[in-house]
Structure 1
Amino acid sequence: AEHFLPEKTLAHLRTRLGRYGLTASFSIAAIGFVLWVIYNQAAERFPDASVIIGQTVTLIFFVFAVAAGIASWFLVLAHDTRHVAEEESQRQNALLQKEINAHGKTDAALQKAKENAEAANMAKSRYVVGLSHELRTPLNAVLGYAQVLERDDTIPEARKSNINTIRRSAEHLSGLIDGLLDISRIEAGRLQVYSNEINIHDFLDQIVDMFKMQASAKGLGFSHERADNLPVYVRTDEKRLRQILVNLLSNAIKFTDEGSVSLKVGYRSQVASFTVTDTGPGIDLSEQGKIFEPFGRSQEVEARRTPGLGLGLTITKLLAETLGGAVALSSDPGKGSSFEVRLMLAAVANPPKSIPAERQIRGYEGRRRSIAVIDDNPDHRTLLAEILVPLGFDILEAEDGATCLEMMKDHCPDLFLIDILMPGMNGWELVASLRERGVSTPIIMLSANIGDGSLRADGKDLHNDTLAKPFDLRQLLDKMQRHLALQWLESEAPQAPSAPEPAGDPGRGPGARHVRELISLGEIGYIHGIEAKLTELAEDPDNGAIVAVLRGHLKVFDFDGYTKVLEKLDKND
């Protein structure tokens, strides 16, 4: 029709009414044509009844015309409805496709963000491991030489307490370094908890002595209370408990400028509560949840620019929950804070009655053994030589794997101590090379990277044991004894000085009540309590002899001799 009709006319015909008119016209015309044909055929056969036939056909035409008009209207409406539905469907499909494309872009962005986060987390872990190695390397020398000096009989007695402080401080730093790795270990479910029996009173005395000096250096008061029913020996993870208390007390002293810090220990139904209270700036209620999050710090701390990473309380909370406990905080801004940690500390039913003196190893039985030390750090090689040469070992040193393999042409050591991170060939590769050459000598991996598996080759373990730096001298000697089947030669424990005990008679006792109290303190091994009691008795000159004798036994932890002296006293004394 576009070829014969003008556009204006076509526009009218394309409307709904125009399409209805066309549809109805064609339908009625078709009906009329069919009825006209029927009329003509019938009129030819029955000419006499043509009038009646015409009237009947006309009536039928009008009836069908009305029906056709109505049917055409519904047909046009159904056609329009179908077109509208198709258009809406196409529109919705287009919108859905756009949404799918948008989701695809979002998913791609999320995947990229996830990959970036995983890469950043991996980089953080690598950084922490690297930082741990860099800190452990010099710390191993500090802790190692402190242990060597502690066993040196030529050191003046007045200096041994200072050396002991250096060793404890180095152990404290080692614990802090371990804390850097604890968060990732806990989140990965790889944190191991070791339950052992500890003297909780001596443990708390060490903690108190350490932080009392820090508080005094800052001009703060420090107080400590413990429950009377707190058992002497309990079962817990000493390392993790030490980390928890060290973190809480360090924070309390660091954020308190004036006033005091206190540690209160309660005990009820096998559950101990450790409460650390300070008089610092306090923490606002809205920020109390934030400080337990990694790197979370309060606005007060940020304003004061107090140094720290914001990981101490996070580690404390995770460790407490790992041990089956909980941490609670109560704080009043401007007046201070109080942190309470509740942990299960089961009392030990049959605790040891005395603390054995530490072994003094002077050598070993049998032929002379040689130890190969492979480490790129000369200080560490020298430290191991300082420890092992006096015990009768020959030390073979190598600064890298190539030197070690060259050394094997002329020597066959009885034990290898191998560092992991070395230039060129790392420790794991060196162990593999030694085993390929048929070397079956025991190998101990002695390194600050003992937990870093990224440098390790795939396959079965080729070494015999591991020991992380900084190491404890007793652990090193125990592992050497196990792998070399050594029988240590131990020196006799030093005896109490005999000068204050003329003719074996300590003199008269201080009184029955004091004697019973001293015996009770000796049975539980409460050294600080005994020292305080002896100081009290020393105020009376008549008690000088007995105090000197008891202090001589106490100095070398000879609790058996200490108890025998007290039991020899007359009960009336």
Structure 2
Amino acid sequence: MVAAEGSHHIIRYVNPAFCRLVNQERDAMIGRPFSEAIAEGRNNECVSMLERVYRTGEPELLDDQEHSSEPASYWSYSCWAIFGTEDLPAGVMIQITDTTENVRFRKRAAEMNQALLISAMQQHELTQRAEELNRALEIATQAKTQFLASMSHEIRTPLNVIMGFSELLSVPNLSEQKRNNFGERIKRQADLLLRLIDEILDLSKVEAGRLEIERIEVALPELIADIQMVMRHLAEEKGLEFSLTADDLLPRTILCDPVRLKQILSNVIGNAIKFTAAGSVRVRIRVDQTEQKLHFIVADTGSGLTPDQASRIFQPFTQADSTTTRKFGGTGLGLDLARRLARALGGDTVLVKTEAGVGSVFEITVALEGASYRSSPRTSQKPNKDGDIRLDGLSILIADDGVDNQFLLSTYLTLAGAHVELANDGEEAVSMAMDGDYDIILMDIQMPNLDGYQATERLRKLGCKVPVVAITAHAMRSEIEKCFQVGCDAHLSKPVRSPALLDMVHRMIYDRPARPAQPDGLQDSAGIQP
């Protein structure tokens, strides 16, 4: 408690509690203005309040005024007038309460409430996020289940044919016609299975950002002729009319990835044929010099799509509806992969128009890079067939630890007239190569004791000059580069086909280029690396 007199608020009385509050002696404060009894620069509102109370005679209250900041302290003031003999204010009485603990408590409570509110909001957000993740997980689990079921069906179906007809081939007294028929069915289903596996692996490479795109000179008319030959055969098997027309200004060569371009065209045109029961599939090729794009327009008279189906057609592992899978088979990867590959080649794959029951039109574009228009006849080279290439008199060493692979490769080669010897691992391959006289070595990469990399490297250090062709299931660029780094002259990816193998051996021996110091322009498919 403090009693102050007059307009200058001269202190006339203080109680012991106030002395303790301001940490001053009573005698040091009596006779001094109230403003000097409190900390300098603080409680200006209190002094203003004293002046108003003294002037008006009306009591006032100030709650929780900050008195000091270090450490923080708060005072509350109650002030009322002391009236003199003429009923006029003669001074003021001030009651000061230290409310520091109350203020601190309220602040802590407010902070806790705010923290609880934030925590509740965060908990709500986490709950929502968890619910979203659960929904996404359920969708992903359902998609995974559907995908695995589809994959199981798509893989087991050709496997059933392959295994079944493989068993039938061992039936005694089987006619040559039936044996050839069974073999053709096995080959067709094996091709289907290989394409399925390639599509899954290619899609995973695209999503991982590891798809490797080449930019090499491609003989465009020959590539188109190959596609036309295959697609025409598929269409004729279904009784469909198939046509392919091209602009007169079609370039003779472009810079592109021939494997990926063929893959795109095969997927889109093959889809058109698959989903067309009657009528026609027409392909038109045109050149856009302004945009520097090569356009492939594929139009069919097939089942077409509803707007809902069209909105989902480019989603991976998705087909128009469940009946599509049951009726036509397939994984729903083709169009999604065709779009991604086309974009990697500087273009796109789009659905131009479609109508249920009428048909669809798709357009594929790729970048028109390095186009050459030199005059040359548009004739396609026929693919090699077993027997077209002869290897009479050649001595070939096959290094492979797989008995079935040894038998398959040696059969291909001996049927073409070559003499074949077998090594079961890298150590044996090195020993036989150094002691024997071979025209070419076919080197499997994954072998026990000494793998193909080590065996080839050792042969080169020992001075062996015989051409070495790496044969491996690894088709990644880094693996192919490693083959060349250790001294291989060429590369073949498994599964190895007879035409590619015979062509490779023939070219390596009779038309062998110098092995490169740096393996630029590597291919994922069979081919000599110049």
- Pick from 224, 248, 265: which aligns with 1:229? 248
Q: Tell me how far apart the structure 1 counterparts of residues 218 and 420 of structure 2 sit (CA, whole Å).
A: 36
> 2 CA distance for matches of 1:263 and 1:297?
23
Task: Decide whether the 8 Å contact of 2:213 with 2:344 is kept in 1.
Answer: no
Contact 1:248 1:313 survives alignment (8 Å) = yes
Identify which of structures 1 and 2 has the higher relative contact order when contacts are C-alpha pairs closer than 8 Å and 6+ apart: 1
Q: Deviations over 1:90-119 (max 9, x none)?
A: 444566678899999999x99xx99xx9xx
Other-structure match for 1:238: 258
Which residue is 2:303 aligned to? 281
Give the drift of 1:337. 1.5
| Residues 188-267 of structure 1 mapped to structure 2, 5 A cutoff | 188-200=209-221, 202-219=222-239, 221-231=240-250, 233-235=252-254, 236-267=256-287
Say which of 464, 475, 482 aligns to 2:488.
464
In 2, are the aligned partners of 1:175 and 1:243 still within 8 Å (CA)?
Answer: no
Read off the aligned partner of 1:324 and give its amino acid letter: G
Letter in 2 for 1:444: V
Aligned counterpart, 1:343: 366
Give matches, 1:447-486, under 5 Å: 447-451=472-476, 461-465=485-489, 466-469=491-494, 470=496, 472=500, 473-480=502-509
Change (3 A) 1:416 1:271: same
What SS is found at the alignment partner of 2:441?
A: strand
Map residues 142-161 of structure 1 onto 2, 5 A cutoff: none
Deviation at 1:339, TM superposition (A): 0.7
Residues 319 and 325, structure 2, Cα contact 8 Å, conserved in 1: no
Greater per-residue helix proportion: 1
Identity score, percent: 24
Amino acid at match of 1:186: V
Q: Does 1:272 align with 2:325?
A: no
Counterpart residue identity of residue 183, structure 1: L
Structure 1 position 309, deviation (Å):
0.9
Runs of 5+ consecutive residues of structure 2 not aligned to the other structure: 1-13, 32-82, 163-182, 516-530
Mapped to 2, the partners of 1:272 and 1:166 lie a distance apart of 37
Instruction: Classify 1:164/1:461 alpha carbon distance in 2 versus 1 (closer, same or farther; 3 Å).
Output: same
* 1:417 corresponds to 2:442: yes
Offset at residue 233 of structure 1 (A): 1.9
**Which of residues 318, 324, 328 in structure 1 aligns to 2:340?**
318
Contact 1:421 1:449 in 2 (8 A): no
How many residue pairs align between the two structures? 391
Partner secondary structure for residue 258 of structure 1: coil
Aligned equivalents of 1:225 and 1:484: distance in 2? 36
TM-score (norm 1): 0.52
RMSD: 5.7
Tell me if the contact between 2:439 and 2:509 (Cα under 8 Å) persists in the aligned partners: no
Kept after mapping to 2: 8 A contact 1:445/1:463? no
The one-letter code sitting in structure 2 at the alignment partner of 1:191 is E
**Aligned counterparts of 1:369 and 1:29: Cα–Cα separation in 2:** 113
Q: Relative to structure 1, is the Cα distance of residues 384 and 253 closer, same or farther in structure 2, using a 3 angstrom cutoff?
A: same
TM-superposed deviation, 1:335: 2.2
Which of the residues 354, 357, 364 maps onto 1:334? 357
One-letter identity of the residue aligned with 1:343: V
Change (3 A) 1:34 1:211: closer
Residue identity matched to 1:374: D
Distance apart, 1:84 and its partner CA: 0.3
Question: 2:49 corresponds to which residue?
Answer: none
Distance 1:353 1:208 in 2: 16
For the 8 Å contact 1:375–1:399, the answer to whether it is kept is yes
- Note the alpha carbon deviations across 1:495-534, whole angstroms, 9 max, x for none: xxxxxxxxxxxxxxxxxxxxxxxxxxxxxxxxxxxxxxxx
Question: Offset at 1:248?
Answer: 1.1
Partner AA of 1:397 in structure 2:
L
Unaligned 5+ segments in structure 1 are 1-22, 40-57, 140-162, 487-573
Query: Is 1:431 equivalent to 2:455 in the alignment?
Result: yes
Q: Give the 5 Å matches for 1:467-506.
A: 467-469=492-494, 470=496, 472=500, 473-480=502-509
Any conservation in 1 of the 2:313–2:319 contact (CA below 8 Å)? yes
One-letter amino acid of the structure 2 residue matched with residue 479 of structure 1: M
Q: What secondary structure sits across from 1:445 in the alignment?
A: strand
Give 1:266's aligned amino acid: R
Q: Which amino acid aligns with 2:213?
A: Q
Cα gap change, 1:227/1:463 in structure 2, threshold over 3 Å: closer, same or farther?
Answer: closer
Q: What's the secondary structure of 1:288's corresponding residue? A: helix
Note the C-alpha offset of 1:307. Answer: 0.9
Q: TM-score, normalised by structure 2?
A: 0.56
- Listed one character per residue, the Cα deviations across residues 240-285 of structure 1 (whole Å, up to 9, x for unaligned) are 2221221112211222333332223334436432222223332232
